Structure 1
Amino acid sequence: MKRKIRRLSIIDNAREWLFALFLFAGYYKADPRLAFIQTHIDLTLLFLILSFLMFLYRLLRKPFAQRVPIGFVKEAAFFLLLAACFLGGLLITQSKGYGLDKTLRFIVLTGWAFFGTAFLITDYLSLRRFSWAVVIISTMMAIDALSNYPGVGRVSFVTALGSNYIALARAGGFGLLATLAFLLPTERRPLAKLCLWVMAILQTLATLSAGARGPVLALGVSLLCFFALSVRGFPHLRVDRFSWRLGVVLFIALVFIGTVGQEIFSTLFFRTQVLMTHLGESALTRLHLYEEAFRLWASSPVWGVGTGGFAMAVTGSALVRAYPHNIILELGAETGLLGVLFFVAMVWMAFSIGFAALRNSGRFARATVRYLLVAGCFALLNAMVSGDINDNRMLFTLVGLLSCTPRFQASIAAKGIVGQLRHSSSATNRLKEAQV
């Protein structure tokens, strides 16, 4: 009987890991070491299916345990309206093939990235398991990247697990924020804290070594938001002890980067200097794409030019994948004002729920909500400077998690939750028994 319970517990706890592997599959599935799987089935699709099966398994075991917060229901309505804009855009687009592919990816892949948050990440402990998965995936990418480090003073992009330098910096940013803003402030075990600090150092080195400017800038702004959200008690301002300590650590890190960073992170420093002086080819290309997106949006303000129409207008080919590297301009150009309004409403509502929860939270709930707000900020800023809407599916994951903050608050406030925060197996089992 005990063996059966243990087996069921392992299966139930795997859902967050499978979901995280699905979200980050695009960052590692091109690794030649995974070709023996990728040649038979796409890893993104594989982990989507496995994580969905975990949802069905949980649903069959506990059919009444899937209580979805009302805020998420409202967010889901806006997501479906946005999906309807994509479907409607297929009727007017000149790029039927690419438009259909983009729409299917949005409904299936980005859709599960959004809806999976409500169906798989069901309480505080579930969110912690998901965050640990993100941190470990990020750390594995960091280790692989640092093993390929080109050397001090050499200007060269750094990649990991077959991905590109932007994916490495993004993964490092998500992992670093999960480590610093959530796991470390709420962790109780000294050994786990030590491991988290080591992983944070690896993630920082990999993120800065990659050479990607956008994710690093987004990470810097997000960390500033973390400290801003750590201040409370106006007019008698107070900052929690961990934030003070983290501020000291980051100040020392900034001094170190300012002293030797130009040699160690030479690619990032060189590309930043180019941006400040001559803009560079990458920035000029982005500006051109922004202008094209504005022009297309102005030509059809309400409906846009259709799903995938931006690529056709810019490249002249229906087979080439192209986008303006800004999620607002992408939606405006292809789905018009309607698509932009539905997307902005989703983001606005999610952050509003998060800020409302932040004002009425205790220590652990406050740390949880603060982390989701900061990670959501990081995802949103990245979506404004690189990738298309499906590349930025983590933004929709954070939107879903923010809309579920009342669920996390309730699980923290539940009877016996303080014992669970120490992550002993007995406490975890007590919580599960209480939820049945």
Structure 2
Amino acid sequence: MNFQNPFKLFLSFEFISVLSLFSYQYKNTHPFFTSFDVTVLLNLILIPWAVVLYVRERDRSNRFWSKEVLFFVAMAGWFLLSTLWSSSHSYKIQKALCFSFYTIPAFLMGYLVISNNCERLVRLLQSLLIFALIVFAETFRVFYVKGMGSIQDIMGTNYLVTGQTLGVGLIVLIVYSLHRFVDANRKTLGLEIVLGSLFFYGLINIGGRGPFAACAISTLVLYAVFCRYSNAVKNPLLHLVLFSTVTFVLCVGLNYLFHQQGSHFANRMMPLLNSIKADGSAMERLEFYQSAIKAFVANPVVGLGFGGWPVYHGLSDISYHPHNIFLEIMAETGMVGLLLFVAFLTVCVQGLSLGPILSSPLLVAACLITLFAFMNACKTGDLHDNMLFFFALSLVAGLKRNSISIKVV
């Protein structure tokens, strides 16, 4: 991946967008970020900037009133309208404001501005990788300084947020590495495979089961699709073998260096396989799921209203959620909200075909990041916390719209 001038890249719309999308990763690293909401500050810059770029660069295929945007606006409008009948007082306002100022702009900027320009898409992936590399370096510094005897917070945030950051970095690395391997363009192949293996090691040791599982499934889907539909059938398998071998060797070596046995991922998976000792986190999630379903059955058409589930569950008027995007939408916005959400997802992916996807590393990366973020959204994150999912989906919809096929840059 040929990187642009770093100064130009760091001041680009795409890099600032990445800082906004992943602001939860570094919000606790400096008092300034805790005194002033950095996501709000960045969006105050990004939103007018995006309007200028859209007006300047739009073409006939890049319309605000496309069906993807119309379905998204209809869905978002219903979500916000549901605050009118929510039993929450303070959280519904917080949730509505965050969804309006974080999630809605993320989708619109991704669809109308970034996905419409090949150079912007390349800069976006470069920005994602650079940000992930910074977090990756801090992760290993924490491993070295504090040891690996417990679940680690990186940059003052929890393992789920860091797992999402490292997962996106790993996906970008593997996609570009695999495309170089298939195309026999192997200039930086060794470095990409080693970095990918190190990202893998970080993911299995920060403590999160969900992000690692989501990343592993997304990666296996990538290899399976390439092995089944790529003309160079042997190359993806060979790349997988090479990546797996390097990963195994590095994991063994790093475990010896850090005096670590196994991994936090394996340690946290064991209770799920133990029929005698129940896993507290899993049981809590199951309780949340059952509560959300009961809330939906009690209010099937319009739901509890935005932010209403915590009150229904007896958690008081606090910022919380059922840890599943479908159950959250069902419980708080009813069947109307669920149908609008499913229709929106369908419109965004409708018409995708494997041919254009496999020919473009940008579209492959966007699809894999969307799949990764979707699986994370099915187990954690409030609606406005799942900005990455809606943003990645906007890129897929935009790339599909433009039928862009881009070779590795």
Q: Which letter maps to 2:367?
A: L
What is the rounded CA distance, in whole Å, between the counterparts of 2:261 and 2:134 in structure 1?
20
1:202 corresponds in structure 2 to: 198
Among residues 348, 364, 384, which one is paired with 1:390 in the alignment?
Answer: 384
2:41 corresponds in structure 1 to: 46
Q: Aligned ranges for residues 242-261 of structure 1 at < 5 Å?
A: 243-253=236-246, 255-256=248-249
2:19 corresponds in structure 1 to: 21
How much does 1:193 deviate? 4.8
What is the rounded CA distance, in whole Å, between the counterparts of 1:322 and 1:87 in structure 2?
17
How much does 1:218 deviate? 0.9
What is the rounded CA distance, in whole Å, between the counterparts of 2:147 and 2:42 in structure 1?
39
Contact persistence 2:85–2:304 (CA under 8 A): yes
Q: Give CA-to-partner distance per residue, 1:192-222, whole Å, 9 cap, x none.
A: 5555445323322221111100111111111
Contact persistence 1:99–1:308 (CA under 8 A): yes
Among residues 134, 139, 142, which one is paired with 1:145 in the alignment?
Answer: 139
| Distance change >3 Å, CA 210–CA 316, structure 1 → 2 | closer
| Distance change >3 Å, CA 304–CA 172, structure 1 → 2 | same
2:263 corresponds in structure 1 to: 266
Deviates more, 1:214-223 or 1:261-270: 261-270
Q: Give CA-to-partner distance per residue, 1:289-331, whole Å, 9 cap, x none.
A: 011001101101111111111011113522x112110000000
| Distance change >3 Å, CA 80–CA 96, structure 1 → 2 | farther
What is the rounded CA distance, in whole Å, between the counterparts of 1:289 and 1:229 in structure 2?
35
**2:114 maps to 1:114:** no
What is the rounded CA distance, in whole Å, between the counterparts of 2:53 and 2:178 in structure 1?
29
How much does 1:10 deviate? 3.7
What is the rounded CA distance, in whole Å, between the counterparts of 1:363 and 1:213 in structure 2?
29
| DSSP-derived class of the 2:151 partner | coil
Contact persistence 2:40–2:101 (CA under 8 A): no
| Distance change >3 Å, CA 348–CA 65, structure 1 → 2 | closer
1:219 corresponds in structure 2 to: 215
| Distance change >3 Å, CA 363–CA 295, structure 1 → 2 | closer
1:282 corresponds in structure 2 to: 281
What is the rounded CA distance, in whole Å, between the counterparts of 1:226 and 1:364 in structure 2?
13
What is the rounded CA distance, in whole Å, between the counterparts of 1:271 and 1:346 in structure 2?
35
Contact persistence 1:214–1:382 (CA under 8 A): yes
Q: Which letter maps to 2:106?
A: A
Q: Which letter maps to 1:30?
A: N
What is the rounded CA distance, in whole Å, between the counterparts of 1:267 and 1:314 in structure 2?
31
What is the rounded CA distance, in whole Å, between the counterparts of 2:302 and 2:39 in structure 1?
31
What is the rounded CA distance, in whole Å, between the counterparts of 1:51 and 1:186 in structure 2?
33
Q: Give CA-to-partner distance per residue, 1:158-216, whole Å, 9 cap, x none.
A: 22112111111111111110111146625998775555445323322221111100111
> What's the % identity of the aligned pairs?
24
- Structure 1: where are the runs of 5+ without partners? 1-5, 413-417, 423-436
- Please, what TM-score do these two structures have when normalized by structure 2? 0.86
Among residues 166, 169, 176, which one is paired with 1:172 in the alignment?
Answer: 166
2:301 corresponds in structure 1 to: 302
Contact persistence 1:304–1:332 (CA under 8 A): yes
How much does 1:96 deviate? 2.6
Q: Give CA-to-partner distance per residue, 1:220-263, whole Å, 9 cap, x none.
A: 11111101221455xxx744565234311233256558968794
| Distance change >3 Å, CA 273–CA 225, structure 1 → 2 | same
Q: Which letter maps to 2:369?
A: A
| Distance change >3 Å, CA 148–CA 349, structure 1 → 2 | same
Please give the root-mean-square deviation of Cα atoms over the aligned residues, in Å. Answer: 3.2
Deviates more, 1:155-164 or 1:15-24: 155-164
Among residues 90, 94, 117, which one is paired with 1:97 in the alignment?
Answer: 90
1:77 corresponds in structure 2 to: 70
| DSSP-derived class of the 2:385 partner | coil
How much does 1:149 deviate? 1.2
Contact persistence 2:9–2:127 (CA under 8 A): no
Q: Which letter maps to 2:327?
A: L
Q: How many residue pairs are counted as aligned between the two chains?
A: 396
Q: Which letter maps to 1:49?
A: L
Q: Which letter maps to 2:220?
A: L
1:339 corresponds in structure 2 to: 337
Q: Which letter maps to 2:210?
A: G
Deviates more, 1:372-381 or 1:81-90: 81-90
Q: Give CA-to-partner distance per residue, 1:372-417, whole Å, 9 cap, x none.
A: 22221111111111111111111101110110114564474xxxxx
| Distance change >3 Å, CA 134–CA 184, structure 1 → 2 | farther
What is the rounded CA distance, in whole Å, between the counterparts of 1:15 and 1:219 in structure 2?
27
Q: Which letter maps to 1:98?
A: Y
Q: Which letter maps to 1:247?
A: L
| Distance change >3 Å, CA 227–CA 192, structure 1 → 2 | closer
| Distance change >3 Å, CA 316–CA 410, structure 1 → 2 | closer
